[in-house]
Structure 1
Amino acid sequence: MKKKIFTFVMSVFIVFASIGVHQVEAATYNGKTSVNLNVRVKPDLNGKVYTTLKKNSSVNYGNYNSSWVKVYLNGKTYYASKRYIVPIKASQISTTSTVKTTKGVTTANLNVRTSPSLSGKVYKTLKKNTKVEYASYNSSWVKVVISGKTYYASKKYVKSVSTTPSSSVPSTPNVLKGILTSNLNIRMSPSLSGKVYKTLKKNTKVDYASYNSSWVKVIISGKTYYASKAYIKPVTTEVKVTKVIGYAKEPLKLYSKTDQKSTVVNTLPSKKEMTYSKYNSDWSIVYLGTKTYFTLTKWIIVGKVPVEKPVEEKIQGYASQTLILYNQLSSNATIVKELRKYESLTYSKIDENWIKVYIGSNIYYAEASKVISGKPDVDSLGVIYVNVPGDVLNVRQAASVNSKQVGTLKHGTEIEYYGTENGFHKIKFNGQFAYISSAFIKTSKPVASSNAVIILDPGHGGRDPGAVNGSLYEKTIVLDVTKRVEAYLRSKYGYTVRMTRSTDVYLTLEQRVAAAKSLRGNLFISMHVNALNVSTAKGMETYYSTRSAHSARSRVLASNIQNNLASKMSGMSNRGVKTANYHVITYNTMPSALVELGFISSPTDLTYLRSDASRQRMAEGVAEGIAKYVQTYH
């Protein structure tokens, strides 16, 4: 029994041994013989001679020992004397075909490699019956020329075919209709190194004819070019013609056929509208009545001729009563702001019912019946009070910050006014008309300011942009809104407000907490914008920390802010007051809250976060919530 098993094993071993080793070792080299060289079945001068290679024969070999090398022939390993093989450096191997090639066809799916070795890198695999150009390399390998470069393949899987090579364009090629499946370079020759004549866009219709397995001839304006076959799909059915409206970019010549040398049948004047459809990459069909013509597409602009809008006449006027400004041309649109009676404005007429109102770079809409052109001629409109806690208000000769200063007024000063103009109130000062900034007046006498110090913390900054949506950054939004909160609290309530950062700088969480303490704050509010990887999440929310030493008052602060913010921003979702142990509100030494003004990832919230008017309302909501807390505890 043991004898039978041994005999079977030896039989299997002999069968496998007879098959030979088909994969060479990793370290292989190219060389040539310096003499007629015997190749043996083992590394010994007494070894049987398998074949004799002539002098200067190319060989693929690997190291064996100091005297012998392994020679790879027909996918098997043999041996030869090392001293009679001269190595060929990689730089000496040409990648450009300069040898005479033969037409052939693959007899199986065939790997084409970058070197004549089974361990050589596979450049691509050619399918069975693919036509190739090749030249002999050695007894086992051939050189295969693809796109003007030389690669290698097993000789036994390439069969020569008897054809008459011709690179000329056939006089009557079998022209097919096709369409591009991607943007495609059209070249002067069938090679990736060929000069690009032009690039056609995806879905362009082309006329083409077969050239070889990889390239096709593309016919443009009667001339032949070349393109990769892989990106052209044949069109077997008639493509539906899509007619569109366009107009002439300049006087437009209409031809009888797609040739600029053909007869010019008609000429359309510049900006003349027409109906047309694309014919190919260069030409379009123009439809005039029942007739069709051809013209170059580059002379047509898609769409209707733009209507030139008349120049709007801007008028100086004033509000005859309280004037509501809308963000759109509708009384149901969002109310952006109100102008007081007799307040000056610049406007233009839309129709008998509506006007456009210009304030800075913004445009609003208002009812025409409530505006009068010219300047108001009235007596004193009432009493106002200067509101600059701890400071004085400049009095200027004209309604401009660049106008000459004629004096100052103290905080709380009562004074009559005679109208408004360009953001200024008109007053009498030393018997003459003068102007003070409307941003620093109140209609009621200012009350004594609180001694509370409010710390505002715009989140992120510097190298930390926070949440991002395109070119819109969280750090930019929150810095803008926080500055508006600061200005509102100072101007309306005279509060002492300090910011952890007022420019685009980066602060760590620890630095923000330390800044609040060093600035001797009594309460801390951190401003942020939310984001998620889904667009459905939306709305505003305010957080306080349950682990804070000031958790109870922090909850009151957060509730006041959220309630007032939701009241100001009724169009946004109210997500309420929530708890979270964020660092800046957990480790602060004072009552603290963190406000999320909305989701930058939400298309709905993004509309508000981009709007100056909405940011101002957000700031006022946050500020009023802070003021309510201060009035309760300070």
Structure 2
Amino acid sequence: MNETKPSWSLKLLLSSSLAISGAAIVPFQLDSSGIQSTVAEAASTYTTTANLNLRLSAATWSPVLLTIPSGSSVTYISTYGSWYKVSYGGKTGYVASQYVSVSNTSAYYKTTDRLNMRLTAASWSDVVTVIPADATVKYVSRYGSWYKVTFNGKTGYVASAYLTPTSAPVPPSDYYKTTANLNLRLSAASWSDVLTVIPAGSVVKYVSRYDSWYKVTYNGKTGYVASEYLKPTTVTTPTDTNGTGKTVVIDAGHGGNDPGAVYGSVYEKVIALDIAKRLAGILSSTYDYNVKLTRSNDTYLSLEQRVSLNKSYKGDVFVSLHANSSVYNTAHGHEVLVPTSESYTTNPYVSASRSLGSSINKEIASRISTIQNRGVKYQNVYVVGRNVSPSTLVEYGFISNSSDRSYLTNTTYRQRMAEATASGIHQFMRSYY
């Protein structure tokens, strides 16, 4: 039977329809057959799921170059609507994409230019975010010439023409140095609140990775930074070697049948232990100190036992943590207690204890300005005056005061209190030892 082949104008019309039905409009070019095809994207290998005709052009009426057996591997070149241009057995042609499946696609890709991540696989779709050049994205799935990827906690579609396969992210270094002044943010997003600005040349400790963001600790704070402004460093501590190997003894006040100050369901012993554990973690992970707790649970210890534990631990400093209370609910603020010069004091490190207390008080005051600073006070406190190392006692606020109590019962503020205390201890250790 004689068959009239479609005219060139009809082919062009059908081609345009196929391109639109593919749900994604991408840059195209004319191949040797005169048919439009999308620009080649990142190379992948596909496996045929049935015996499949390799055709000269992207049309069911196009001549068959050969039949590819089911289970064969073909090399992807480009997409044309519902057709893939592939090579097989030394020949290049078109196959129906529904009869091939991805057999090896890279798990990670690197962008070759700034790249729009879109909500759907279409060039007119809303832009979710702009991915920087040379950023690494994680492959999720494929839709024609579009890849569904994740980047910086977002998932969307990108034109695969601007991706190149790359290896999985290299396991991170323990420590990194900043290459520029760098914002430490609350979360892994450029619009997130800035916790602090890390100066260029500073060393941060790596915690975890979130696509192109690193969660790090710096100067007692933990947050997210853009990894492109970090470079691995061989420094073994986040600041310097002063204080490395030193032992800090943290004493959570009260405990067991001694609740300390109480207001309703708020117990001083609970607040003290929570801050102590947070402080111990920061001192260990951020500043690399050997940290000992006098108590790690709800246990009663006498004052003598606390001092004795510091002796057995060979503590280089001793810091006791408390919350205050008063019969006057207007009393409020934080304060630090240090040894007096009276005969009560047998601690040979009076001057150092005062420096330690002053350093902690200064950091708390500068970091948490919403709580009144009552200053450094000289008092006869057993765990301070009768100890055998630089020692101080911190009162973080008054449980009896509604404003202070709101801070003391807030986990965010307790974390900030711990961070400020850790920084104060570290500043003292660096200058004293």
| Structure with more of its chain in helix, by fraction | 2
Which structure has the larger Rg over C-alpha atoms?
1
Q: Which has the higher contact order (CA 8 A, sep 6+)?
A: 2
TM-score using structure 1 length:
0.34
TM-score using structure 2 length:
0.48
